[in-house]
């Protein structure tokens, strides 16, 4: 199959880029563009920002100025779907595979090739639309969005324009306590289906670029938010919630570093009290939640400073790039208007019709989503800090739920997971799916401590062993003879031994140095190899030290 495709490509590449150079190295097809073709991109990148804002001025005046302005933020998020094959052809997509090894006449847009819709894309879009509380369009269609860029082989992107698959939804989230806490609800304008473009790889010295078309035609869902966010933190948390939702749904890995979840952030400012929005600037190249937060904060300050200096005409509708190294945004290109895209209905694909039965069947298959999970955990009596820790990662939530299903106490299970287990995972750089301790054995461990079969101290020791090697709590207790000593006579004997071996400390204790009770307790615990019941030990010890028995 692959070799047939390569033959086709070797005949046709010049149809795509008349001055592109195609070559094969190590069995891989490379397409190299001469610098003249990528000039626009490189020139735009090299353009200095139109207005230079001195960094020190920014830092000094930011706090004062930003207080006079309110920021308006809306986000466009592209989520790459984890379908087995691309949106309109049967090529698979695996991040990081050799360039141009997963391409065919359809995703290369060769003349005469016709797209065929992957039904999983519709299923995933419906799932997300429902999860984001949207209204689904029972009849939607595809449109062509036309623009030229070397990573777009067809010269247009198949997208949805006037009838997106889902509209008018919202997401709920809870801000972490370190950011002030509180519940937020942000509107979703629309969710639509589109295909991804390829990837340009620019050479180090900038004189040529290479095209990798593996990603061309991979299905995306674009989620457009209402301009409802007001701070960088709110925007970053919104993006994190979308990541959780797509991961809970299992429709994308949501990995920002690999570009499976990409956020373009739109920011404008207005003087406090003004109702109209200001001119928006779109920021791209944000590949972490913290860069979303920092880029927005920078942009708010930049715009506020310009506005406060009477230079608001310098805030123009444009696309800016976030430069991680310099921690600032710079002009990338002036914004195209909608009409520049010359959208028109895609003639090669039929209308998408969703039957109510189909929508119902998808709706019934949805898992419990992050917001529902958080509210359920909250009702169980957990603090918001615990709720967020447990619900943020779907796998941790599943582990916690499975521990509870095995009968564990809610608060104790949460404490073990958030405490010793989380610390172990952090140390060993493991995810919860990698640890050997099963939720059932965690429940057993908690029950064994609660019933007094083993002490809390022994419990912690067993935990380390179970985390690293697996096994069962019962097996380890038996194998290591760890059952707690709760026999007063046996404990009494050990106390007598320790007291008789430490006459000096006894004298000091009886002379008023009562803190020494801790010393005696420690010695007895050591003698019992950590197995003595601590409550009983201290009770009997106190009686004996005070000469009552």
Ligand X SMILES: Nc1ncnc2c1ncn2[C@@H]1O[C@H](COP(=O)(O)OP(=O)(O)OP(=O)(O)O)[C@@H](O)[C@H]1O
Min separation Cβ 221 and ligand X, Å: 13
Q: Give the C-alpha separation, 453 to 449, whole Å.
A: 6
Residue 505, judged by CB atoms within 10 A of its CB (0-12, 13-18, 19+), counts as middle
160 binds ligand X (CB under 6 A): no
Min separation Cβ 208 and ligand X, Å: 28
Piece of the chain touching ligand X by CB under 6 A; list 9-17, 72-80, 98-106, 456-464 = 72-80
Min separation Cβ 277 and ligand X, Å: 3
In eight-state DSSP terms, residue 548 is: -
Q: Which does 277 bind (CB under 5 to 8 A by kind): ligand X, Mg ion, none?
A: ligand X
Q: Could you give the string, one character per residue 243-282, with x where binding to ligand X holds by CB under 6 A and - elsewhere?
A: -----------------------xxx--------x--x-x
Strands (E), 414-490: none
| Tally of CB atoms within 10 A around 193 | 25
Piece of the chain touching ligand X by CB under 6 A; list 62-70, 117-125, 225-233, 234-242 = 225-233
123 binds ligand X (CB under 6 A): no
Piece of the chain touching ligand X by CB under 6 A; list 71-79, 165-173, 383-391, 497-505 = 71-79
492 binds ligand X (CB under 6 A): no
The answer to whether residues 172 and 161 touch, using CB atoms and an 8 Å cutoff, is: no
Q: Give the C-alpha separation, 240 to 227, whole Å.
A: 17
233 binds ligand X (CB under 6 A): no
The answer to whether residues 222 and 188 touch, using CB atoms and an 8 Å cutoff, is: no
- Out of 9, 72, 462, 477, name the contact with ligand X by CB under 6 A: 72
Q: Could you give the string, one character per residue 184-223, with x where binding to ligand X holds by CB under 6 A and - elsewhere?
A: ----------------------------------------
Query: Which residues does 494 contact at the CB level (< 8 Å), separation at least 6?
Result: 524, 527, 528, 532
Min separation Cβ 170 and ligand X, Å: 13
Q: Which does 280 bind (CB under 5 to 8 A by kind): ligand X, Mg ion, none?
A: ligand X
Q: Give the C-alpha separation, 87 to 393, whole Å.
A: 28
Q: Which does 226 bind (CB under 5 to 8 A by kind): ligand X, Mg ion, none?
A: ligand X
Q: Give the C-alpha separation, 26 to 101, whole Å.
A: 12
CA distances from 503 to 463, 495, 506, 521 (A): 37, 13, 5, 15
Which CB, 169 or 227, lies closer to ligand X? 227
Piece of the chain touching ligand X by CB under 6 A; list 67-75, 129-137, 355-363, 511-519 = 67-75
Residue 119, judged by CB atoms within 10 A of its CB (0-12, 13-18, 19+), counts as exposed
Q: Give the C-alpha separation, 418 to 397, whole Å.
A: 11
Which CB, 220 or 532, lies closer to ligand X? 220
Which CB, 343 or 424, lies closer to ligand X? 343
Piece of the chain touching ligand X by CB under 6 A; list 68-76, 285-293, 301-309, 422-430 = 68-76
Which CB, 73 or 408, lies closer to ligand X? 73
The answer to whether residues 32 and 17 touch, using CB atoms and an 8 Å cutoff, is: no
| Tally of CB atoms within 10 A around 213 | 26
Min separation Cβ 164 and ligand X, Å: 10
Residue 271 in 3-state DSSP? strand
- Out of 227, 254, 370, 439, name the contact with ligand X by CB under 6 A: 227
CA–CA–CA angle 91, 97, 101 (5° rounding):
50
Q: Which does 378 bind (CB under 5 to 8 A by kind): ligand X, Mg ion, none?
A: none
Which CB, 264 or 324, lies closer to Mg ion? 264
Q: Over the Cα atoms of the chain, what is R_g?
A: 31
Q: Give the C-alpha separation, 464 to 444, whole Å.
A: 15
Backbone angles phi and psi of 139, in degrees to 5: -125, 105
Q: Which does 374 bind (CB under 5 to 8 A by kind): Mg ion, ligand X, none?
A: none
Which CB, 238 or 377, lies closer to Mg ion? 238
Q: Which does 506 bind (CB under 5 to 8 A by kind): ligand X, Mg ion, none?
A: none
- Write out the DSSP string of 131-175: HTTPEEPSEE--EEEE---TT-TTSEEEE--SS-SEEEEEEEEE-
| Tally of CB atoms within 10 A around 39 | 11
Which CB, 225 or 538, lies closer to ligand X? 225
Which CB, 263 or 454, lies closer to ligand X? 263
Which CB, 224 or 449, lies closer to ligand X? 224
- Write out the DSSP string of 66-107: HTTEEEEEEEEEEEE---SB-SSSS-B--TTPPTTSS--TTT
In eight-state DSSP terms, residue 463 is: H
Q: Could you give the string, one character per residue 519-548, with x where binding to ligand X holds by CB under 6 A and - elsewhere?
A: ------------------------------
Min separation Cβ 477 and ligand X, Å: 57
The answer to whether residues 216 and 195 touch, using CB atoms and an 8 Å cutoff, is: yes
Which CB, 224 or 499, lies closer to ligand X? 224
Residues that bind Mg ion (CB under 5 A): 76
Min separation Cβ 131 and Mg ion, Å: 20
76 binds ligand X (CB under 6 A): yes
226 binds ligand X (CB under 6 A): yes
318 binds ligand X (CB under 6 A): no
- Out of 33, 75, 213, 245, name the contact with ligand X by CB under 6 A: 75
Residue 390 in 3-state DSSP? helix
147 binds ligand X (CB under 6 A): no
Count, in order, helices (H) and strands (E) of the chain. 20, 18
Q: Which residues bind ligand X (CB under 6 A)?
A: 72-76, 224-227, 266-268, 277, 280, 282
């Amino acid at each position: 199959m692959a070799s047939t495709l390569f033959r086709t490509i070797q005949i046709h590449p010049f149809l795509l880029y008349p001055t592109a150079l195609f070559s094969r190295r190590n069995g891989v097809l490379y397409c190299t563009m001469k610098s003249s073709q990528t000039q626009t991109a490189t020139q735009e990148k090299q353009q200095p920002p139109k207005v230079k804002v001195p960094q020190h001025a920014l830092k000094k005046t930011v706090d004062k100025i930003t207080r006079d302005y309110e920021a308006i933020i809306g986000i466009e998020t592209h989520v790459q779907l984890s379908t087995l094959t691309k949106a309109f052809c049967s090529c698979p997509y695996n991040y990081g595979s050799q360039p141009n090894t997963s391409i065919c006449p359809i995703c290369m847009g060769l003349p005469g090739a016709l797209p065929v819709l992957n039904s999983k894309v519709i299923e995933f879009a419906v799932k997300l639309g429902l999860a984001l509380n949207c209204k689904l369009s029972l009849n939607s269609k595809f449109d062509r969005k036309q623009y030229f860029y070397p990573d777009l082989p067809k010269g247009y992107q198949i997208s949805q324009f006037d009838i997106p698959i889902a509209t008018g939804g919202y997401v709920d989230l809870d801000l972490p306590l370190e950011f002030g806490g509180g519940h937020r609800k942000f509107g979703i304008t629309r969710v639509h289906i589109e295909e991804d473009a390829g990837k340009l790889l620019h050479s180090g010295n900038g004189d040529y670029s290479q095209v990798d078309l593996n990603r061309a035609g991979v299905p995306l869902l674009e989620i457009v938010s209402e301009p409802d966010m007001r701070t960088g933190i709110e925007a970053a948390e919104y993006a994190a919630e979308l990541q959780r939702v797509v991961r809970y749904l299992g429709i994308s890995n949501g990995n920002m570093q690999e570009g499976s979840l990409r956020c373009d952030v739109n920011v404008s400012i207005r003087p406090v009290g003004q109702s109209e929005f200001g001119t928006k600037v779109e920021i791209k190249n944000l590949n972490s939640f913290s860069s979303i937060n920092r880029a927005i904060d920078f942009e708010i300050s930049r715009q506020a400073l310009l506005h406060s200096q009477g230079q608001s005409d310098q805030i123009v509708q444009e696309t800016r790039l976030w430069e991680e190294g310099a921690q600032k945004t710079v002009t990338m290109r002036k914004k195209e208007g909608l009409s520049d895209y010359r959208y028109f209905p895609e003639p090669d694909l039929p209308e998408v019709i969703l039957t109510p039965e189909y929508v119902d069947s998808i709706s019934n298959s949805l898992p419990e989503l992050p917001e529902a999970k958080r509210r359920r955990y909250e009702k169980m009596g957990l603090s918001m800090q615990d709720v967020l820790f447990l619900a943020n990662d779907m796998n941790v939530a599943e582990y916690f739920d499975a521990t509870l299903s095995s009968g564990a106490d809610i608060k104790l299970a949460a404490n073990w997971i958030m405490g010793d287990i989380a610390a172990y995972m952090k140390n060993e750089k493991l995810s919860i799916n990698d640890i050997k301790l099963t939720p059932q054995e965690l429940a057993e461990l908690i029950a064994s401590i609660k019933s007094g079969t083993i002490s809390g101290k022994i419990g912690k020791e067993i935990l380390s062993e179970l985390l690293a090697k697996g096994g069962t709590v019962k097996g380890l207790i038996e194998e290591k003879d760890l059952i707690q000593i709760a026999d007063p006579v046996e404990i009494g004997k050990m106390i007598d031994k320790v007291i008789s071996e430490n006459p000096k400390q006894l004298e000091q204790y009886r002379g008023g140095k009562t803190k020494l009770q801790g010393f005696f307790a420690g010695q007895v615990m050591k003698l019992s190899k950590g197995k003595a019941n601590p409550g009983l030990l201290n009770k009997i010890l106190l009686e004996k030290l005070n000469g009552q028995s």
